[in-house]
Amino acid sequence: MALHIVDSFFDAVLLLQPDIYSDERGFFLEQYRSDYLEHYGISEKIVQENHSGSVKNVIRGMHFQWDKPMGKLLRVIRGSIQLVEVDIRYNSPTLGKYCSMKISDENRQMVWIPPGFANGFAALSDFVEVQYLCTALWNPQAESAIAWNDTDIAIPWEIDSPIVSHKDSIAQTLNQWLQKPESRLFSI
C-alpha cells in the first residue's frame, strides 16, 4: 500500500504519509485513493475541495461544521503549518483535548480529520497553501468555531503575533459550544 499511518490521535485523527516517488525530474505521489483510505476505515465520499493561502502568523480556526458534519483530508502544498485538532465530541473521554503536529510541503504528510473535531492551523512560513478534501458541502448556517485562544484548552501556538479574522476573534469557547443542542450531534 502506498499510504501509511504515521500516528493517530484520539482513535480518530490520522497522520498519513503517502509513498513519494522521486528522481532527477521531481516527484510523484497519490494524494487521494479511496481504496487506501477505506483500508483505514475512512469510507466517506469526498464532495468538495478547498484551497487556502495564508501569510506567516495567520491562525485559521478552530472551525467545524455540524450539518452535514464535515470530515477533511488536509495537506500542505506550499510552506509549513502547525496543525491543531480539538476534540469537541460531547461524550468523548478526550473532550477538550487537542493534538498538534507540523505539516509541510517538505514532509508531504496528510491528516484525516473526522467530524467532531475543531480544526485550525498557524502559518509558520512566509506563505502557506493548504488543500482540504471535504466530505460535506460547506453550509454557512451550520458552521462554527471554538476560540483559538480558549484558556480552558490552552493551545501552545508556535507563533508570537497571531493574525486572526474578525470571525475567529469573536469565536465561542468550548464550554459555550457545549451548551448548545447542536453540540450533541458529535458523539463517539
**Catalytic residue chosen out of the listed positions 32, 36, 51, 63:** 63
Residue that is written with C-alpha cell 513519494 in the block: 20
Q: Could you write out the DSSP letters of every residue in 43-100?
A: -PPP-EEEEEEEETTBEEEEEEEBTTB--EEEEEEESEEEEEEEE--TT-TTTT-EEE
Q: How far apart are CA 70 and CA 134, in angstroms?
A: 6
Angle at the Cα of 153 from the Cα atoms of 150 and 158, rounded to 5 degrees: 85
Q: Is 32 a catalytic residue?
A: no
Q: Residue 15 contacts by C-beta under 8 Å, 6 or more apart in sequence?
A: 5, 6, 7, 8, 9, 101, 109, 110, 111
**Catalytic residue chosen out of the listed positions 21, 32, 132, 166:** 132
Q: Is 98 a catalytic residue?
A: no
Q: Residue 74 contacts by C-beta under 8 Å, 6 or more apart in sequence?
A: 83, 103, 110, 111, 113, 119, 130, 131, 132, 133
Active site residue ranges: 63, 132
